[in-house]
Structures are given as structure tokens and as C-alpha cells.
Structure 1
Amino acid sequence: MQNAWFFLSAAGDSRWLLPMTLVLLCALPSSRARLKWRWLTAICSTAAVTLASKLAFMGWGIGIERLHFTGFSGHAAMSSVAYPVIGLMLGGASRHGRAIGLLSGCALAIAIAWSRIPLQAHSLSEIFAGLTLGLVASAWTLRADTHPQRPAAAAVLAAVVIGLVLPLSLPHLPTHQLVIALAKALSGRTEVVESF
């Protein structure tokens, strides 16, 4: 069962999600410019809020001790800003297909978020906060266009392949260490706050 949690968790890794969504964004037709800009804004805002919450805790110890909240779960936040929109896009033109796609995307994001619990990567409050942040951003994105055109099969394939390049070519990219280094640089600390 542990392997299933690792697999699900990997599907929420930003090294995979960000390149994949960038390709899908570029593949959307220019007639969907409003959707493109909303989704790009939602992704960037979600990533920025998540990073800021991690830096606030690591650099200055800002969190909520009684909830064991040290920052938004990045996997939960980024999965829930990406997969619901992708699911709706892949659902096609029919209302039924779009509903299934949207629900599938939300279910995948929730499963990815939950995978962080058995892997002991986040507390329940951090998962819930990340999911809420990402789902609100997805909902805001889809207010621009609830009938996005299904991307071409070639674009979907390119998104998957390009999304896999970074995780496979740089499997040990020290993203967490980069956040730690940034927290140290901004706060002036020699050691970051790791836990309450």
C-alpha cells in the first residue's frame, strides 16, 4: 500500500504539474485567452501563497501550533488548482463528460492530498488548507469558461511527456532544500524552524 501512496504523491509533485500545465495552457486556443490568463494567475497565486506560508514558518516560526499547521501542503494546493481544470477540459463538449472530468479531477486532487498523511509529510490541517486554496483557485479559473475546448491529443501527449522530463531527468532536485535556503536568506537565521 505504501507504494500506492508514493505513486499518488508523485502525481502532485510540482516538478511534474507545472511543466504539464504550462504545455496545456499554451495549447489552449487564443479564443480562450480569458481562461488561459485566469488559470495562469490561479497557478502562480496558489504557488506563491504556499511558498510564503512555508517561508513564514521556516524563517520566523509563524504557524498555528494547536492545529500543527506549518504551511499549506504544496501537493494538495497544486493538485487541486491543476487537476479539476484539466479534468473538465478533457471531459469534452458534453455536459455529462465535463461533469465527470471535473469530479475525476477533484477526486484525484483529494487522493493526492490524502496520500501525504500516510507518508507523514503533512498534518490534516495543512492538507485541508492546501486543498481549500487550490479548489477555490480552480473554481475562480472556471468562472471564466466552464466549456473549455478539449485540447488536441498531441497536446495532451506533449504535456505528459514534457511533464515527465524534469522528474525523470532530475529525480533528486532538492526543492525542499531550496526553500530552506531561501528561508534562511530572508530571515537571517542560520537554522530554520522545523517544527513546533
Structure 2
Amino acid sequence: MTLELPVSVWYWITALGSVGVMGPVALIIAAWLALGYRWTYAGAWLALLGVASGLVALSKIAFIGWGIGMRNLDFTGISGHALMSTSVLPVAVFVALLPARGPLRALGVAVGLLLGLAVGVSRVVLDAHSVSEVVAGCALGAVVALAFVRFAWRAEPGKLAPMPVAASFAAVVIALHGVPVPTQHWITEIALGLSGHARPYVRASWKVKRPRAPEHRTEVQAADPDAA
């Protein structure tokens, strides 16, 4: 499945949704909201995104550490790329267009959601996630974005012009696009530390209902003094 696009293009699209890109954009959104509008908007935005990101992390930790998932849906955790792209991109466009009329802002939010959906599709095309994992990520991201847009829709326009705000977002995306951030490694380490297992659960064996029972770290170290 390539949807008539070269694989290199799908990799470019998928990199747009990485935490290394969307995370800084999310923080800049909060900064602009605090500077040009009200701190309550910045706080609400970070709180919504933080809760959603926590759900993504918990879903991944549950599978990696304990093998908790849904085999019938091929679900091992919410897609972080899908969540970040469908939550951050619509809100970034919305904040840039806050001084504009309502229909233009609504159109911008729709465009942001479509861009986020494209990132989600790229995760399926590249076999990084199953359809169910991407659907969950996109749905959760859309809820975050639309909840914040509804909350901030009637914000009084501040002193911020659309161009500087949009330029700051573009600069971050261009500067950080493709820069790797080992979030999966960090989550795996946390999952193993919490579960006490030496090895993570993996999708391949879990799907065929032959999950490899990971030894506890203490058992591995007792058998092999040099084991990490």
C-alpha cells in the first residue's frame, strides 16, 4: 500500500508528526497564547495535550511491559505521531488565524486536521502502526484540538499578527524536521523498569498468541552476572 506516493514522501510526512517537531510547536503555541492572549489559554492547551500524551504513554507502557492490548484489533498502543499531529497542527493554524474571521479560522482548523490525518495514514503505510492504533491517535488528537478551539474561539484578538506566528511555527518545523528523538526507547525503559521484565513484549509473537514470557531482570542477572 503506497497510495501512489514514493516511500520517501511518506517518510517525510511521518517525520512531521514526531515529538521532536510537534512538541516544540506545541510549546510555541502556548508561548504565543500567553503573550498575546491569556495565560488561561496557554494552561488549558498544555493541560489538554498533556493528558492526551499521558494516555498514549500509558497505552504503550501497558503493552511493552505486560502485553496488554487488543489482538482482534491489532492494537498495542495509541499512535503518538497521530495524536501529536492531529492535535498540534489544527491548533497551530487556529492560533495563527485568531485575528481572522470565524469562517477562515474554521477552514484553517479543518486543514490542520487533514494534515494530521495524512501523518496518521503515513504510519499505516510505513507499517509503523496498525489502523486501529492510528484511528485511536487521530480521534484523540482531534478531540484535544476541537476542545481547545471551542474553549478559545471567542478569545479577543491581541497584538499578534498572523505572519510572525505562522513564521515561528514554520521555522521550527523546518529546523527540527527529521531530527530523531528516542521516545520509543524511553518508553520501553520505563515499561521494563515498572514491570521488572528484562525484555519487552513484541507485536509479532503477541499477535499469534505466543507471547514470549519476559524473564524478570533479577532472574536474568542471577543467571548471567554480566546482564544489563
Which TM-score applies when normalising by structure 1?
0.90
| Map of 1:185 onto structure 2 | 193
Q: What code does the residue aligned with 1:124 have?
A: V
Contact 1:35 1:142 in 2 (8 A): no
Contact 2:63 2:77 in 1 (8 A): yes
Pair 1:4 & 2:16 matched: no
Q: What code does the residue aligned with 2:69 have?
A: G
| Map of 1:59 onto structure 2 | 65
Q: What code does the residue aligned with 1:99 have?
A: A
User: In the TM superposition, what is the alpha-carbon distance from 1:165 to its structure 2 partner?
Assistant: 4.8
Question: Aligned match of 2:24 in 10, 19, 25?
Answer: 19
| Map of 2:219 onto structure 1 | none
User: In the TM superposition, what is the alpha-carbon distance from 1:84 to its structure 2 partner?
Assistant: 1.4
Q: What code does the residue aligned with 1:16 have?
A: V
User: In the TM superposition, what is the alpha-carbon distance from 1:147 to its structure 2 partner?
Assistant: 4.4
CA radius of gyration, larger in:
2
Please list every run of 5 or more consecutive structure 1 residues that lacks an aligned counterpart in the other structure.
Answer: none
Please list every run of 5 or more consecutive structure 2 residues that lacks an aligned counterpart in the other structure.
Answer: 1-5, 207-228
Contact 1:84 1:106 in 2 (8 A): yes
Matches within 5 A, 1:83-122: 83-91=89-97, 92-122=99-129
User: In the TM superposition, what is the alpha-carbon distance from 1:35 to its structure 2 partner?
Assistant: 2.1
Q: CA offsets, 1:22-55, max 9 Å, x none?
A: 1121122363333211111111111111011000
Q: What code does the residue aligned with 1:11 have?
A: L
Matches within 5 A, 1:10-159: 10-28=15-33, 29=35, 31-91=37-97, 92-148=99-155, 149=157, 151-152=160-161, 153-159=163-169
Contact 1:89 1:147 in 2 (8 A): no
Aligned partners of 2:96 and 2:169: how far apart in 1? 13
Match of 1:116, SS state, is helix
Judged with a 3 Å threshold, the aligned counterparts in structure 2 of structure 1 residues 4 and 146 are, in CA distance, closer, same or farther, namely same
Q: What code does the residue aligned with 1:80 have?
A: T
Q: What code does the residue aligned with 1:144 have?
A: F
| Equivalenced residues, count | 194
Judged with a 3 Å threshold, the aligned counterparts in structure 2 of structure 1 residues 7 and 114 are, in CA distance, closer, same or farther, namely same
Which TM-score applies when normalising by structure 2?
0.78
Q: CA offsets, 1:121-161, max 9 Å, x none?
A: 00000001111111111122122111454854334433443
Judged with a 3 Å threshold, the aligned counterparts in structure 2 of structure 1 residues 189 and 164 are, in CA distance, closer, same or farther, namely farther
Larger RCO (CA within 8 A; separation ≥ 6): 1
Pair 1:174 & 2:179 matched: no
Q: What code does the residue aligned with 1:12 have?
A: G
RMSD across aligned C-alpha pairs, in angstroms? 2.0
